[in-house]
Amino acid sequence: MKKYVVILLLSISCVLCSCGSKKKELATFDFTQSHIGPIETGDLKLAHGELLSINQNDGTVVVKAKITSNLTNEMTINQNYYSISALIRNNGFNTCNEIQYWAVADMTSGEESKVISFTVPKDVIDKIYSGAIVDNKIGDYVTDLWIHPSLQK
């Protein structure tokens, strides 16, 4: 009887180990190729929010997202920096010359409105990729930072 229990437990553990070891490949992009227009994103997901679109104009990539509010205004803002950092570190966006990021959200009035936008120049992309810039400090390094007045309170 013990022999059958041991075999059963070993079988179950082998099945569980083999299921857990299947790694899903992350979508990666190479923006060094000249391209103008929308990019097919496949199953690419943002760390926070919904990916609406990605457009490329040669080395400049425009990422549009829809987010939801978080516990605090600061957390709502920072989730965008975490998303852009994950794209740069995990999905090949380090190959961009520039990233323009826009995020919209549903407002309390029921309208959808832009809540944050910023530009990430190449030197900042490289620093994010190397880990020289901490994710929640990305806002200190981007250009053209615009934050909806309701999040600045």
pLDDT (tens digit, 9 = 90+) per residue, 51-90?
999 999 988 999 999 999 898 999 999 999 999 999 999 9
Residue linked to tokens 């990422």: 63
Look at residue 61 and tell me if it is in a domain: yes
- CB-based contacts of 48, cutoff 8 Å, min separation 6: 67, 79, 80, 82, 83
Using 50, 70 and 90 to split pLDDT, how confident is the model at 113? very high
Using 50, 70 and 90 to split pLDDT, how confident is the model at 25? low
As given in the structure block, the two tokens for residue 139 are 């806002």
Look at residue 39 and tell me if it is in a domain: yes
> What would you measure as the largest C-alpha separation in the chain, in angstroms?
71
Look at residue 147 and tell me if it is in a domain: yes
Domain of residue 102 covers: 27-151
Using 50, 70 and 90 to split pLDDT, how confident is the model at 1? low
CB 118 within 8 A of CB 81: no
Q: Give the pLDDT of residue 6.
A: 40
Look at residue 7 and tell me if it is in a domain: no
As given in the structure block, the two tokens for residue 135 are 């994710």
As given in the structure block, the two tokens for residue 122 are 């190449």
One-letter amino acid at 116 equals I
3-state secondary structure of 15: helix
Question: In this structure, what are the phi and psi dihedrals at residue 29, rounded to the nearest 5 degrees?
Answer: -125, 155
Our count of domains for the chain comes to 1
Distances in Å between the Cα of 148 and the Cα atoms of 62, 78, 123 are 19, 13, 26
Look at residue 3 and tell me if it is in a domain: no
Q: How wide is the angle at C-alpha 81 spanned by C-alphas 93 and 63, nearest 5°?
A: 45
CATH classification at residue 34: 3.30.300
Look at residue 19 and tell me if it is in a domain: no
The partner residues of 146 in beta bridges, in order of sequence, read: 117
Look at residue 4 and tell me if it is in a domain: no
β-pair type (50-57, 36-38): antiparallel
Q: What average pLDDT score do residues 114-127 get?
A: 98
Q: Give the pLDDT of residue 59.
A: 84
